[in-house]
């Protein structure tokens, strides 16, 4: 008995017709009939009742059919398991992250190093780009996983897990005069601004908020990372638009932050395409990144709880 004979038998039973079954299997009908007869001889019992118009199962055939299907399903599972194992031996994973995005929230270098140690035959491509470019690359399937900032909801085809969610604030020099603790969006647009480039989530947030209010922001300087935006603001080149940071950290960098009214919030997320099957290697790496993110979130909650108790 051969697996292909079981597959032929199941197909004939489902189609109840040798001609349709042969077409579905891309076989000549005489060859298909010969294989079924050979299977019946090996089993010593007829499985099918044949007439000129239809094919029906014999009582033995009815008893054998679910077992034949189960056997084929088990073989498919074995094949899938072997394919996954093979993929983890010689796969390739493509990861993208926001330009300059060395994250404290996820130690990307450590996760990639651990993954490479466990699966040394898997190639890893790590690229940096704007969030818009990486979003498009994930959607096309050019990237397996992206770490990107977003200004709104993504389409349902893109799965996400939030790395962090932060209020967006304005940063001005410590000694700057004429600023209170808050600044309206209209007042912000009266100053030269320092912001991330177009295509980033933070820039998208600013431009969308201004467009909704009928305002035109004057972005005088662009830089690839929030720390550089802060340094430019500290040197009085404009007002920087950045994710919120603690007041003591801001002061150490030579700035203070102002709440923006109306409030804007930005998110950094892990992103992957849910409509394209991830390779086994990409699935494992995504899982490790999510575990690292979970550990960071738990540690953050523990620290906040400890600070609250004290």
Domain locations in the chain as residue ranges: 3-89, 91-162+268-309, 166-266
* pLDDT for res 273: 94
pTM across the whole model:
0.63
Q: For residue 18, is pLDDT > 70?
A: yes
Q: Which of 158, 99, 105 is nearest to 127 (CA)?
A: 99
Length of the chain: 310
Q: CA-based angle 260:296:276, to the nearest 5?
A: 90
Q: Examine domains 3-89 and 166-266 and report if their fold is the same.
A: no
Average pLDDT over the chain, rounded to whole? 86
Q: Is the model's pLDDT at 300 over the cut of 50?
A: yes
Cβ pair 206, 266 in contact under 8 A:
no
> Residues of the chain with pLDDT > 90: what percent?
47
Query: Between β-strands 193-195 and 182-184, what pairing exists: parallel, antiparallel or unpaired?
Result: unpaired
Q: What is the CATH code for 3-89?
A: 1.10.10.10
- Given this model, what pLDDT does residue 195 score? 95
- Cβ atoms < 10 Å from Cβ of 218: 13
Token pair in block for residue 186: 């209209």
In CATH terms, the fold of domain 91-162+268-309 is D-Maltodextrin-Binding Protein; domain 2 (3.40.190)
Helix axes 3-15, 29-43, angle to 10 degrees: 110
Query: Does residue 186 have a pLDDT over 50?
Result: yes
pLDDT digits (tens, 9 = 90+) for 195-223: 999 888 889 999 999 999 999 999 999 99
CATH number for the region 166-266 comes to 3.40.190.10
Question: Which is more confidently placed, 17 or 170?
Answer: 170
The pLDDT of 253-258, averaged and rounded, is 95
CA distances from 161 to 61, 109, 259, 289 (A): 50, 19, 26, 10
pLDDT confidence of 240, banded at 50, 70, 90? very high
């Amino acid at each position: 008995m051969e697996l292909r004979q079981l597959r032929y038998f199941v197909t004939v039973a489902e189609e109840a017709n040798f001609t349709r079954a042969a077409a579905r299997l891309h076989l000549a009908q005489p060859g298909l009939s010969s294989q079924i007869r050979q299977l019946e001889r090996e089993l010593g019992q007829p499985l099918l009742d044949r007439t000129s118009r239809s094919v029906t199962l014999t009582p033995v055939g009815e008893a054998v059919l679910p077992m034949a299907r189960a056997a084929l399903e088990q073989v498919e599972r074995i094949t899938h398991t072997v394919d996954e194992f093979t993929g983890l031996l010689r796969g390739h994973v493509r990861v993208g992250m926001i330009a300059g995005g060395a994250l404290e929230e996820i130690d990307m270098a450590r996760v990639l190093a651990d993954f490479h140690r466990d699966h040394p035959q898997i190639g890893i491509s790590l690229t940096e780009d704007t969030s818009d470019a990486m979003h498009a690359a994930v959607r096309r399937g050019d990237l397996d996983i992206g770490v990107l900032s977003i200004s709104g909801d993504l389409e349902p085809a893109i799965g996400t897990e939030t790395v962090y969610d932060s209020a967006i604030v304005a940063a001005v020099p410590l000694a700057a005069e004429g600023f209170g603790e808050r600044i309206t969006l209209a007042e912000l647009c009266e100053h030269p601004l320092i912001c991330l480039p177009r295509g980033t989530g933070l820039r998208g947030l600013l431009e969308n908020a201004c467009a909704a209010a009928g305002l035109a922001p004057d972005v005088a300087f662009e830089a690839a990372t929030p720390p550089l935006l802060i340094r430019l603001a500290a040197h009085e080149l404009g007002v920087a638009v950045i994710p919120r940071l603690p007041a003591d950290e801001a002061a150490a960098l030579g700035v203070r932050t102002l709440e923006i009214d109306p409030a804007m919030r930005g998110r950094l997320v892990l992103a992957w395409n849910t409509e394209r099957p991830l390779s086994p290697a990409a699935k494992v790496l995504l899982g490790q990144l999510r575990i690292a993110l979970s550990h960071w979130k738990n540690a953050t909650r523990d620290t906040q709880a400890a600070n609250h108790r004290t």
